[in-house]
Each structure stands twice: as structure tokens, then as C-alpha cells.
Structure 1
Amino acid sequence: MDTARLLERAGEPVVLATGGLVIGALFGFFAQRSRFCLRAAVVEFWRGQPGEKLAVWLLAFSAAVVGVQALSLAGWMDASQARQIAARGSLSGALIGGLIFGAGMILTRGCASRLLVLSANGNLRALLSGLIFAVTAQASLSGALAPLRLHISQWWVVEGGAPRDLLAVTGAGHWGGLAFGIVWLAAAIWFGRRSHGTAWKWWGGLGTGLAIAAGWWFTWLVSASSFQVVPVQGLTFSGPSAEWLMRVLSSPAPAMGFDFGLLPGVVLGSFLGALLGGDWKLEGFGDGYSMRRYIAGAVLMGFGAMLAGGCAVGAGVTGGAVFALTAWLSLSGMWAGAGLADWLMDRPRRPVPSTGQQTAGVSAMAP
């Protein structure tokens, strides 16, 4: 059955939601098995200790770039009408929001997608942080924090279309984007070989990135086959988190689409991954300081994500894979903000003992 006939029989909302569920489950499973996490990668990088966490993130990022650019060259995808490219964007919001988000994910020991994955593994710290993240994201979208977000967003803007497309600005085109992805894929493999990661780290990292590319391809396919206006979009977690919050709390609920199935899919995939690996375990806060830290971090991430136009996955990888200018600014801000926050909050102040014993700060890298 071709896509047009499937849409005619089931309707766009059902098809999109089902696709979101399946792709979300794949992302959740691979992200759980590989321990995919931007925060952990950033900490390894800024502490000068590149290892498997950095390798996993680079594998996912480069796989998403290679997948998206290969699909574009084959004519199976066109991101030119996606919001990250076609709409007017905020450069100030992207950079400042990225800085704020990066600091927040250090405090919560994980980005928005990592919190969702860990919530399905029984981590109650991640669950509470995720709920606060969703509330703050909604407040930043259309609530009490919206005026501040809009004010910062208006400081420095860029028009949609070619000015927001790095491949068009640089003249690199999709072949240049593909070459860029291959170079970083090679770098990821090199880091992975140095860190002696397990097979799940390799396949999980690649699977995570390809799931992100699959999200772009699927929504483009539905958009190209439908007579309705269907947005071309990829995986992100800030907007869908706010949408699910309003779905639970208000009526009428937002329209069903790709995001409707995405979050439940990630939870399902992560839960299955935790069962497979024996990782499911109820965990809570150890003390009051940890709770305050996680709450503050979740608030920063919620506001930062909506200001930046996406989270570590939505802006950092999904938007980065299509070379949206604002996405790359957001990602740069996240790396800088997280590095600064780690230096201020968590980095050990004493040098590593000559006996080879690790400092307590290194153990904090695992969420």
C-alpha cells in the first residue's frame, strides 16, 4: 500500500502519530542502550578526558547528518520548508537559549531527552525534572515567561530561507554536508576505538542518529503524499513536552500528529532497553541539595530550550543535521554553557593524584 492510499484510509493524524510512536521507540531503545547524552559528552570534552560518551554523541550526530544529507541527495527528503530553515529565526535567542540550556543540563545531569529516557528506567529524579521542564517550557511558550522569551528573541533575527541555511550560505550544498558528516563519523569511530566501547555503544549511537534522520524522512514523505498541510519536522522534546502537558491539563487537546506518538514511543523504547540490559531500578533524591539542583536545572532547560528553538536533540542534532544556522548557534551555546557550568559547579579543584586514583568529580559524569 502506497503512502497516499494509507493516508486516505487512516488519515494524516493517525499515520503521523503511529510513525512518531515507532521512530520514538527506536530512538528511546538505542539512546538507552548507548547512554546517549550531550551533557556527558560535553563534560568529557571540557575536562580533556575524551571517551566513550563523547564517541557515542559524535556517532549519533554524524549518523544523523550523513543520513539526512544522503536522503536529500537521493531526492527522498527536502528540509527547505521545515521550520528550522523556512521561518524567521532568532540568533540572539539561539545563542543565549543554548547557553542557558547548557547550564541547566549540567545541574540536572542530563538533557531533556536523557531525562525522558531515564524516567522510563525508574529514575524519579529524572521524572520530576522532566515534569518541571515541561511546565517551564509551556510557561515560556505562552505563559508567564513568554514576554521575556520574545524580548530576547527580538534582539537579533535572521530571515528564513537561504540566510538561515548554512549549506546555502557557504555554498557547500548537500555534498558538502555529506562530506562534513563523514569526517565527523570517522572522528567518532576513532574516539570509539580509543575508548574500547561495547558493541551497544557503537550500534546504539548509530541507531540513535539514524532514528533522528528517519524522523525527517517520515514527516517529509507524509507531507509530500498528502493534500493537507503537514509540517516537515524532526525529533525534538521541548515542544512535544509542553504539548503533552496541555493535553493532560486542558481541553480541547492539541491536534494529534507526529509529536503525539513521539514521547510515548521514547518511553516505551527506553523501558524495553532497560529490561533487556537489566537497568530498570527505582531511584530517588539522596538529599535536599540534589532536589534543589535538579529543579533549578529543569527550569533553566525549559526556558532555554524554548528560547533556543529546541533542546539538545531538537536544535543540537535534528536542526544541526539540516545545517540550520540557528541550530548550530544553539548547539555552540549548549557546549559553552555546559562547559562553564561544569567548571563552576562540578569540576574537581585538586589535580588528579599521581597514584592514578580518580577524583570524585569524574564519577559525577554519569547521570
Structure 2
Amino acid sequence: MLQMILTGLLCGALLGFVMQRGRFCLTGGFRDMYIAKDNRMFYALLIAIAVQSVGVYTLIQFGLFEFTAGSFPWVAVIVGSYIFGIGIVLAGGCATGTWYRAGEGLLGSWIALFGYMFMSAVMKSGVLAPVNQSLQTTQLPSNSLAESTGLSVWVFIILLVAIVLFIVIRELRKPKVMIPTMKQRKTGLAHLLFEKRWHPFFTALLVGLIAILAWPLSVATGRVAGLGITTPSANILQYLVTGDNTYINWGVFLVLGIFLGSFIAAKASGEFRFRMPDAKTGITSFVGGILMGFGASLAGGCSIGNGLVMTAMMTWQGWAGLFFMILGTWTASYFLFVRPRKVAKANANAIASTL
């Protein structure tokens, strides 16, 4: 039990610290792909996926543990991921982003987090569990890209690494855009850790390495999985309500560690402060959290579970989930940001034409 607590908290704290300092926000990244035509955060995600994939399959190759992709519940993954994508825009952050932003003192994220935990628990062991299980029964027999095609998994890993290297080299060769920075107040390691702006690609490298570390640490406690947010988040609420110790596992301490690591990073960098949302934002955050919990539970993973981990494991579930959560993000972004601007512009033009 002590090993579970220490390693789970350590891994989570590292992830929370890195994501907070590197502003590793997949919600903003997916949204920016559509609205601002800025793909840097998506490229950063691909880096983290590639790093994790190479590392984890190397560990598997050396026999440290085994991984079975299982079957592919394609209907649940498509529907759930799309709903999850809509939810993260309303909530103002994905599952992991909500945990680390809660650690910064953002009370809107606390509201979204409660909705997310509540609906995840309802979907996994509450009144909606039969609905969840029913939708997941429509499956394809193989979830593994390698098994489905008859190719070695390393073919897909090498292809991904080649694509990522091409993207990274191309992006780093672009002229640098000068971004105004605050006056340097810290020196040495303190400046690098708590003040200097982190490049998203560097942050992604660290996230990928932490994702690799999560596997052996989790496996050592009997949980054969890597980073995961949705089930552990539901487990916390299930444990608090029932007192059943079986809900306590390595993943629970992982997500608590994310909160802790983000809090430490935010306090040390002077970014921690309590921020109360207005009523409209609070309601929107809660609705977003509900949609996140519903979608991630149905899809079998969130932007980390499917978008980072199951993609790295070269599964249909991971890549299909990533595609449809991006599509859901774009849909919500259109109705919340793009369409209102178009309507406002059209109205302004109509008024101007009458003058």
C-alpha cells in the first residue's frame, strides 16, 4: 500500500508539475487547430505519443509486462469521444487539464471536476452503468493495429517516429516569433523551473517520459496500465460514498498527485490564486464536466487514456478516440466562438449599411 501511495503520488506530481509549467492544454490545442490554425500543441501531443510508444514497447520487448489490446468497442468510442470533445470546451479543460488547473486555484475547474467525477461514477457503477455496458457491446474483434494488419507493431511506431521527426525539424526551422516576457526575477534552476517559458515540444518530451514511467510503477502494484484519469477520478467519489477500499488503487494516487504537483508549480511560480467564476461560467463548467464524464466513460478513456496512452499502444480505440474528440472540440468551438463572431460581424455590417 505504501509503495502504491508513494509511486502514484510521485508520478502524478511530476505530471501535474510539468503540465502546469508547460501549459500542456490539449483543449486549447485542439481548439487552436480550428480557430487559429495553430497546430503546435497537437504536434506536441504526437511527440509525447511517439516517445511513450517507443519506451513502453521496449519495456514489453524486454518482458517487463504484457499488454493485450482486447476488442474495439467502436460505437462507444466514436460517440463517447465526440461528446467528450464537446465537454472539454465547455469545461475549459480536458480531464487532466481540469485536475491541474484546479491545483492552480481555478474554482471553475473545481466545479467541472466535480461534474466529471460524478458522471464518471454514475456511468461506471451507477444508474447509467447498464447504458454504458450496452453501448460497449458492439465491438470489432481486434483493437490492435498490428493484429488487424498482420504487421509488426514496430512498423507503426517507426512510421509515427518518422512523421514526428519531420514535423519537429520543420517547426524548429521556422523563424522564431519574439514573445514579450516578464522581467526575469529568478536565477539559475529556479528561473528554469518556475519562471522561464517552456517550449511545448520540450514539455511533450517530459510528458512522454513520465507516461513511460507510469507503466512499470503501476504494474508493480498489480494495475497493468499506464496513465489514466477517468476511472481513478470516479474511484475517488465511489470510495468516499461507499468506503469500499477496493476502489483505491495506483491510479487514484496518480490523479491526486497531479493536483499536488500543479499546486506546487503554481505556488512556486506565483501563478496560484483563487479565481471565482461568474454564474454562467460556473454552470457551463459543470455541464462540461458532466459531458466529459459521460463521454470518457463511454469511450473507455479521455484525452490522456485514449488520446495519449492508447494511441501510443497502437490501438484503433486510441486513434479513433483522438480523431473524434478533436471533431467534438471543433464542433463546440464553432457554436461557442466562430458562429457568434460571424453573427456579430453580419449584424455590424447590416447596421453600417443602413447609416
TM exceeds 0.5?
A: yes
Q: What letter corresponds to residue 40 of structure 1 in structure 2?
A: G
Residue aligned with 1:347, SS: helix
Q: What letter corresponds to residue 96 of structure 1 in structure 2?
A: V
How do residues 246-285 of structure 1 correspond to structure 2 at under 5 angstroms? Answer: 246-285=238-277
Mean Cα displacement is larger for which, 245-254 or 304-313?
245-254
- Counterpart of 2:139 in structure 1 is 157
How do residues 120-269 of structure 1 correspond to structure 2 at under 5 angstroms? Answer: 120-154=103-137, 156-159=138-141, 163-186=142-165, 187-188=167-168, 190-191=170-171, 194=174, 198-220=197-219, 222=220, 230-269=222-261
Q: Structure 1 pair 173/106, CA: closer, same or farther in 2 (3 Å)?
A: same
- Which string of whole-angstrom CA distances, capped at 9 and with x for unpartnered residues, describes residues 42-96 of structure 1? 112123522543343333233222322333344445323xxxx13x441110110
Q: Over alpha carbons, which structure has the higher Rg?
A: 2
Q: Normalising by the residue count of structure 2, what TM-score does the alignment of the two structures yield?
A: 0.83
Q: What letter corresponds to residue 139 of structure 2 in structure 1?
A: V
Identity rate, percent: 26
**What displacement does 1:104 show?**
0.4
Once residues 208 and 56 of structure 1 are traced to their aligned partners in structure 2, the CA distance between those partners, rounded to angstroms, is: 10
Q: Normalising by the residue count of structure 1, what TM-score does the alignment of the two structures yield?
A: 0.81
Once residues 263 and 101 of structure 1 are traced to their aligned partners in structure 2, the CA distance between those partners, rounded to angstroms, is: 19
Q: What letter corresponds to residue 82 of structure 2 in structure 1?
A: L
Q: Is the 8 A contact 1:192 1:202 kept in 2?
A: no
Residue aligned with 2:98, SS: helix
- Counterpart of 1:365 in structure 2 is none
Consecutive unaligned residues in structure 1, runs of 5 or more: 1-12, 224-229, 354-367
- Which string of whole-angstrom CA distances, capped at 9 and with x for unpartnered residues, describes residues 7-47 of structure 1? xxxxxx33233222111111111111111122111112123
- Counterpart of 1:3 in structure 2 is none
Q: Is the 8 A contact 1:55 1:189 kept in 2?
A: no
Once residues 54 and 192 of structure 1 are traced to their aligned partners in structure 2, the CA distance between those partners, rounded to angstroms, is: 15
Q: 1:302 aligns with which of 277, 290, 293?
A: 293
**Equivalent pairs, count:** 323
Q: Structure 1 pair 79/334, CA: closer, same or farther in 2 (3 Å)?
A: same
Q: Is the 8 A contact 1:117 1:266 kept in 2?
A: yes
- Counterpart of 1:105 in structure 2 is 88
Q: Is the 8 A contact 2:85 2:327 kept in 1?
A: yes
Q: Structure 1 pair 193/308, CA: closer, same or farther in 2 (3 Å)?
A: farther
Residue aligned with 2:101, SS: helix
Q: Does residue 1:62 correspond to 2:61, yes or no? A: no
Residue aligned with 2:246, SS: coil
Q: Is the 8 A contact 1:63 1:181 kept in 2?
A: no
Q: What letter corresponds to residue 107 of structure 1 in structure 2?
A: L
Q: What letter corresponds to residue 134 of structure 1 in structure 2?
A: M
Q: What letter corresponds to residue 18 of structure 2 in structure 1?
A: F
Q: Does residue 1:345 correspond to 2:336, yes or no? A: yes
Once residues 326 and 52 of structure 1 are traced to their aligned partners in structure 2, the CA distance between those partners, rounded to angstroms, is: 24
- Which string of whole-angstrom CA distances, capped at 9 and with x for unpartnered residues, describes residues 329-364 of structure 1? 22121011111111122226349x9xxxxxxxxxxx
Once residues 135 and 337 of structure 2 are traced to their aligned partners in structure 1, the CA distance between those partners, rounded to angstroms, is: 29
Q: Does residue 1:91 correspond to 2:52, yes or no? A: no
Q: Is the 8 A contact 1:95 1:333 kept in 2?
A: yes
Once residues 111 and 294 of structure 2 are traced to their aligned partners in structure 1, the CA distance between those partners, rounded to angstroms, is: 16
Q: Structure 1 pair 243/188, CA: closer, same or farther in 2 (3 Å)?
A: farther
Q: Is the 8 A contact 1:27 1:211 kept in 2?
A: yes
Q: What letter corresponds to residue 185 of structure 1 in structure 2?
A: V
Once residues 282 and 121 of structure 2 are traced to their aligned partners in structure 1, the CA distance between those partners, rounded to angstroms, is: 21
